[in-house]
Amino acid sequence: MELINRYIYAVTKDLPAKQREDISKELRGLIEDMLENYDGPEAYEEKVKKVLTDLGNPEILSNNYRATSRFLIGPKNFNSYIMVLKIVFVAVFVGLSVATAMTGLFSYEDNAFKIILQYITSIFAALSQAFAWVTISFAIAEYYQMPTVSFNTRNKIWSLDDLPHIPKKEAKISRIESIVGIIFSSIFMSIIYLYPKFFAVYIPTPNGINIIPIFDISTVEGFKLIIAILFLLSIAKEIIKLVAGKWNLKVAISTSVLSIITLILTLILFTNPNIWNQSLVKDIVKYVDIGFDLVKAQSLLFKSFIGIIVIASLGEIVGSLYKGIKYNNLKM
């Protein structure tokens, strides 16, 4: 029966994935036993309503199934918080490790001890900031979600009308998509924040590898606050989708607003001519003959990069709004 399915979904939807199936079976068995033992003359549907009402608020029942009480972020989002934290930590660690290895492999200026020391301090700094930004993102998501959660108010008597509808498959947000987004953002932002010299053109020559940086390192240092905010926004956007689990108008608008702010800050960052290595193409042609105008080549390169960012961002915003409008009222 749909009402029983909705009740079980409401209880299990925020529990760890490995527990959901077992708890669903246990809860369904409990409901069936209660229905068999119900002696009233009512029709089956009315008995179901009374049994579910007797079981009470699904959120309270869900909290009772949890092994421990968790209050750092909130029991509804704690498992997602831990998952995202693990993903970000691994992504940051891998990203910085690769950047350090590449820098150490092709750099002849720093000795091994200096590289290792810089790597250790960078890892510590990056993981500390990642922890802070992920926690802040979840705290914001938790704060803005609270007024919309129907089960968490103590001033309202719970009823069966509060049960959420089970979302259809096409309305669900892919967790893999969000996880990939978190991994990419974590790797890119951590490297550009701590190892901007990693983004370079590596040209092999008879005398070794020549490294030509794409960015002006001293200018990037002055934009670290914007880079940190971009990381926060990118993580917050994926967290909103992970927590919501399905497309609706609120999710679409929230993620689109974050995407717009991200696009504006990204344009502020990358349209600043000083952030680029102005001699990039000039330095490249010392080793490779590209055969066309240097000024036009460099200008085209920078404009193409910015154009790709704008097109990708607008595509993401339009796609999010389309899904939010299309699936806003989609129910079983």
- Answer whether residue 80 is part of any domain: yes
Q: What is the pLDDT of residue 106?
A: 60
Closest by CA position to 190, among listed 234, 258, 126: 126
228 and 272 housed in the same domain: yes
Q: For residues 87 and 183, give the distance between their C-alpha atoms in angstroms, rounded to a whole number.
A: 7
* Residues 113 and 215 occupy one common structural domain: yes
Structure tokens at 88: 């970000």
Under 8 Å between Cβ of 218 and 208: no
Degrees, nearest 5: CA angle 101-105-111: 95
Are 124 and 193 part of one and the same domain? yes
CB distance 80 to 239 below 8 Å: yes
One domain, residues 98 and 220:
yes
Does residue 332 form part of some domain? no
My answer on whether 138 and 26 are in the same domain is no
H-helix segments, the chain: 2-12, 17-36, 44-55, 58-65, 78-106, 112-145, 175-194, 217-221, 224-244, 249-270, 280-284, 294-326
Domain span at 217: 71-326
Question: Whole-angstrom Cα distance, residue 298 to residue 306?
Answer: 13
Hey, what are 48's tokens? 């179901």
Pair (286, 155) in one structural domain: yes
Give a yes or no: residue 119 inside a domain.
Answer: yes
One domain, residues 172 and 293: yes
- The Cα 77–Cα 241 span in angstroms is 12
Residue 199 lies in a domain: yes
Instruction: Decide if 106 is inside a domain.
Output: yes
> Is residue 305 within 8 Å of 280, Cβ to Cβ?
no
CA distance 275 to 267: 12
The pLDDT of residue 85: 85
Contact, 34 vs 82, CB < 8 A?
Answer: no
What does the pLDDT read at residue 329?
63
Please say which residue of 52, 69, 86 terminates a domain: 69
What is the pLDDT, as a whole number, of residue 64? 73
Choosing from 37, 69, 101, the residue where a domain stops is 69
What do you get for the CA distance between the two ends of the chain, in Å?
12
Please give the pLDDT value at position 314: 95
Contact predicate 223/275, CB 8 Å: yes
Distance of CA 6 to the CA centre of its chain: 27
Predicted model pTM:
0.64
Final residue of a domain: which of 27, 44, 69? 69
* Cα distance between residue 243 and residue 149, in whole Å: 12
Same structural domain, 20 and 95: no
pLDDT at 204: 81
pLDDT at 18: 73
My answer on whether 120 and 37 are in the same domain is no
41 and 136 in a single domain? The answer is no
Q: With respect to residue 331, please indicate whether it lies within any of the assigned structural domains.
A: no
Are 36 and 94 in a shared domain? Answer: no
**Residue 1: inside a domain:** yes
* 290 assigned to some structural domain: yes
State residue 151's pLDDT score. Answer: 38
Mean pLDDT of the chain: 79
Structure tokens at 184: 């990419």
Q: Tell how far CA 19 is from the center of its chain.
A: 23
Please identify every stretch of the chain with a pLDDT value under 50, giving residue numbers as ranges. Answer: 68-70, 146-155, 331-332
pLDDT for position 266 = 94
Buried residues in 266-300 as b, exposed as e (16+ CB within 10 A): beebbeeeebbbeebbebbeeeeeeeeeeeebbee
Q: In this structure, are 136 and 49 located in the same domain?
A: no
Total number of domains constituting the chain: 2
